[in-house]
């Protein structure tokens, strides 16, 4: 049983989501959720001891004056502050970030098991962590760290520019003429800026007369499944003179052993994995467990940490304090590996150092690559499926060499994509909408991975990150889908393929669409016994809407072939909806943390729009009579819906049909998005205007509550609503309020989709791919530029 505590009008209550029993012999991993923090509580800034930035000289001064800016000013505001350097000099820094201050900064986010974030704004002094950042997820033997440390040695002096970079120093003892070895922190470079784009997080720092740029690029490759399948991410460090003088610069970067597992008692194996083009460390569990998770980490495969071959490279692995000390004192590493077999809790460091030479006005840079490589990715109905990259590359070293050599071209493609998203987002909703889009893109793609399907074609699977951990959950894919409707419709098709395949020939026994293809990622074991989290109208409507959206975004011949192939299944699903609409009765729906709702107005709308969508599909495949039937049925049902949903006394639609006792209640009617997206035109215009006015009156400081009597909202559904009501003032209100939440929340975890609209505090729904729903307004706009399976003017 999974528990979720939420704040309901100031009073805590607990909702429970039932999970099906685990398959025999396979216990479920804990899927704890984080309780919403009481708004009266003081936010913990999640920063390490200030002494990490102040060095030994600051020991006597560790007071409020030395606290990092993030601990002294409201989070998310662009302020500056200062910390004490090891030599006693004041080192200013800035928490400014554009175009948004991320709750957690995405660093290396490409797949469910390559998902590392910075739970702060300042790069130096904070350790990167796996997506599961909140400590309530941890037990006595687990860790959420994915440690990464960066040091720059400038003219012989070491500066910390990234991570929790503790070192050891020898301090003379004046009384005895000896030296003591003590732990200390290098002086921290001054962070002057953080710029976030859709694919990159770019930090700028200064120190020792040098400006350092640290650029984390997690490529997103629309239309290029080969490149998108590569489970690797770039880090580029560039240095140039900031004072006009030339400076000798060496760069040190390490990852720590905790990248291998969330269990710090595990033994790991560290080895060299050099290839033709790169110098590489590999990190793996000593006792891997294929296709199994440990504390959300993959318990198989290996981590790759690499840099391209060049002059001036050195490597070393071993105790992190000793390895860092070697670099601080010599500017290079000694090539040894003292961590060949060690435990994670012993903190082995896998380090790479590069001598950049003397840096002047022109920047000199070096690329690093981090990856999480698994040849087998998913167990689908008892058959292990290989990662898609194995189809394109002979082995992981060949893939790494390709990825290293593709770095410059990848940056150019990223620039083009970033510019497109910025341009489109600003046109649709202004700079605040741009900020939300750049925050959401990597998170959406990072919840998925590409595999080689049973038929040899590319498939994509999605992990229900941080909630139930299910495989390809339909009601998680649906809110995520707008990002692919807008940017990459073929990726949406690949995500739909496992669900279609399982329903058609995998053994799914019911007449409505399945909830998922497996209870616990990466085990896509199905539910042939029929025991799962049934959401009949929800999942069936989702599948028909997503299928129709995909068909509208691709060339007509391609759409017709795909629709024809799956038409019997779609027709069966539509038949279920016909039998259970316009009133679905008492059914569970996607917002199951709020409990099942009888006679739900929002759920009914989804099913009715899905029937109209089926009319478009029927027309596309040449079934004109059936197309007319589905359209007429949808019109009939929407007339009933509009009458029964209207509150008899207030200017809004109710949460449930009013003859079922729903008077005076209301909820966010986010399923209106599908009506606009597909051009079905079912919802009467006067209803849209009425709801828009009502929602403006109900908005809190950080957004629109999902439903009464609660004060929580879901950011994906708010942007669905903004897309539905794009021509109404409330659309911009919703964008601005979701931005305000993301930009100022004190909860430094990957972009939560479930949060309190009064306090701006989030729950345990972090890092979920549903933030692809942020792209809903752009998905609607993209439909206007492509062919459709039916005539959007008459399809309903």
How far apart (Å, rounded) are the C-alpha atoms in residues 479 and 107?
24
- Quickly tell me which residue has 């807008």 as its tokens: 486
Pairwise pLDDT comparison (428 vs 51), residue with the higher score: 428
Q: What is the mean pLDDT of residues 106-130?
A: 97
Residue 49 has pLDDT above 70, yes or no: no
For residue 319, the model assigns a pLDDT of 95
- Domains in the chain and their CATH numbers? 107-412 (2.70.98)
> At a CB cut-off of 8 Å and minimum separation 6, what does 217 contact?
199, 200, 233, 234, 235, 236, 410, 411, 414
For residue 77, the model assigns a pLDDT of 27
Percent of the chain with pLDDT over 90: 79
Any bridge partners for residue 253, and if so which? 150, 352
For residue 165, the model assigns a pLDDT of 85
Are the C-beta atoms of 518 and 647 separated by less than 8 Å? no
pLDDT confidence of 96, banded at 50, 70, 90?
Answer: confident
Residue 480 has pLDDT above 60, yes or no: yes
pLDDT confidence of 597, banded at 50, 70, 90?
Answer: confident
Q: What is the mean pLDDT of residues 705-711?
A: 94
Strand ranges, E, within 178-275:
178-184, 187-188, 190-196, 200-207, 210-217, 232-241, 247-256, 267-272
Cβ-count burial of 409 within 10 angstroms (0-12 exposed, 13-18 middle, 19+ buried)?
Answer: exposed
pLDDT per residue over 400-418, tens digit each? 999 999 999 999 999 999 9
Rounded to two decimals, the pTM is 0.89
pLDDT confidence of 15, banded at 50, 70, 90?
Answer: very low
Q: CA gyration radius for the chain?
A: 27
Closest listed residue to residue 470, CA positions, set 402, 566, 535:
535
Tokens read off for 360: 């002047």
For residue 788, the model assigns a pLDDT of 52
For residue 176, the model assigns a pLDDT of 59
Residue 31 has pLDDT above 60, yes or no: no
For residue 669, the model assigns a pLDDT of 98
């Amino acid at each position: 049983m999974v528990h979720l505590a939420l704040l309901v009008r100031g009073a805590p209550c607990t909702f429970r989501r039932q999970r099906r029993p685990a398959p025999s012999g396979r216990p479920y991993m804990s899927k704890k959720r984080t309780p919403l923090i009481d708004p009266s509580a003081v936010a913990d800034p999640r920063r390490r001891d200030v002494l990490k930035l102040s060095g030994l000289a600051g020991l006597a001064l560790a007071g409020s004056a030395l606290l990092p800016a993030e601990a002294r000013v409201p989070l998310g505001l662009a302020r500056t502050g200062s910390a004490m350097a090891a030599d006693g000099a004041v080192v200013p820094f800035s928490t400014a970030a554009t175009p948004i201050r991320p709750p957690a900064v995405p660093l290396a986010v490409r797949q469910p098991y390559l998902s590392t974030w910075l739970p702060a704004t300042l790069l130096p002094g904070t350790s990167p962590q796996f997506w599961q950042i909140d400590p309530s997820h941890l037990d006595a033997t687990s860790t959420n760290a994915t440690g990464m440390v960066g040091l720059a040695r400038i003219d012989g002096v070491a500066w910390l520019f990234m991570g929790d970079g503790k070192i050891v120093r020898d301090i003379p003892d004046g009384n005895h003429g000896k030296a003591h070895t003590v732990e200390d922190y290098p002086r921290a470079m001054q962070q002057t800026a953080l710029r976030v784009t859709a694919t990159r997080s770019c930090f700028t720092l200064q120190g020792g007369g040098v400006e350092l740029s640290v650029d984390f690029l997690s490529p997103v490759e629309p239309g290029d499944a080969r490149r998108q399948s590569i489970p690797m991410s770039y880090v580029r460090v560039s240095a140039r003179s900031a004072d006009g003088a030339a400076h000798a610069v060496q760069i040190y970067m390490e990852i720590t052993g905790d990248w291998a597992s969330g269990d710090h008692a595990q033994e790991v194996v560290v080895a060299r994995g050099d290839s033709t083009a790169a110098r590489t460390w590999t990190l793996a569990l000593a006792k891997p467990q294929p296709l199994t998770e440990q504390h959300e980490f993959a318990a198989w495969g290996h981590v790759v940490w690499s840099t391209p071959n060049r002059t001036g490279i050195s490597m070393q692995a071993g105790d992190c304090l000793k390895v860092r000390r070697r670099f601080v004192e010599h500017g290079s590493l000694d090539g040894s590996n003292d961590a060949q077999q060690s435990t994670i809790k012993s903190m082995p460091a896998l380090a790479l150092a590069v001598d950049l030479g003397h840096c002047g006005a022109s920047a000199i840079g070096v690329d690093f690559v981090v990856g999480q490589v698994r040849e087998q990715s998913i167990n689908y109905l008892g058959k292990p499926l290989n990662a898609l990259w194995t189809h394109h590359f002979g082995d992981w070293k060949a893939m790494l060499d390709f990825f290293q050599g593709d770095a410059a071209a990848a940056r150019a493609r990223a620039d083009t994509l970033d510019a497109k998203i910025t341009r489109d987002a600003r046109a649709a909703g202004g700079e605040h909408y741009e900020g939300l889009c750049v925050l959401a893109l990597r998170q959406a793609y990072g919840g998925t991975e590409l595999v080689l399907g049973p038929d040899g074609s590319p498939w994509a699977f999605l992990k229900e990150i941080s909630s139930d951990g299910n495989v390809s959950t339909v009601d998680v894919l649906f809110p995520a889908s707008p990002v692919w409707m807008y940017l990459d419709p073929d990726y949406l098709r690949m995500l739909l393929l496992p669900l279609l395949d399982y329903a058609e020939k995998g053994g799914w026994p019911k007449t409505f669409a399945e909830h998922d293809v497996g209870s616990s990622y990466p085990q896509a074991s199905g539910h042939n016994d029929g025991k799962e989290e049934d959401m009949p109208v929800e999942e069936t409507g989702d599948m028909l809407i997503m299928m129709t959206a995909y068909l509208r975004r691709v060339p007509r011949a391609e759409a017709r072939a795909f629709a024809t192939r799956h038409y019997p299944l779609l027709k069966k699903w539509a038949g279920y909806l016909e039998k259970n609409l316009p009133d679905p009765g008492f059914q569970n729906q996607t917002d199951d943390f709020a409990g099942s709702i009888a006679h739900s107005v929002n759920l009914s709308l989804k099913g009715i729009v899905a029937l109209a969508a089926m009319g478009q599909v029927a027309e596309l495949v040449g079934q004109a009579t059936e197309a007319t039937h589905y359209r007429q049925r949808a019109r009939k049902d929407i007339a009933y819906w509009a009458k029964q949903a209207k509150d008899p006394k207030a200017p809004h639609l109710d949460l449930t049909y009013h003859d079922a006792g729903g008077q005076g209640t209301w909820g966010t009617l986010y399923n209106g998005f599908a009506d606009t997206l597909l051009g079905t035109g079912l919802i009467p215009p006067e209803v849209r205007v009425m709801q828009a006015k009502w929602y403006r009156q109900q908005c809190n400081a950080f957004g629109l509550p999902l439903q009464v009597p609660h004060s929580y909202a879901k950011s994906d559904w708010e942007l669905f609503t903004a897309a539905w009501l794009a021509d109404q003032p409330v659309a911009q209100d919703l964008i601005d309020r979701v931005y305000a939440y993301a930009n100022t929340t004190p909860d430094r975890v990957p972009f939560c989709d479930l949060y309190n609209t009064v306090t701006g505090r989030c729950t345990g729904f972090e890092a979920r791919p549903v933030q692809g729903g942020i792209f809903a307004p752009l998905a609607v706009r993209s439909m206007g530029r492509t062919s459709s399976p039916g005539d959007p003017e008459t399809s309903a």
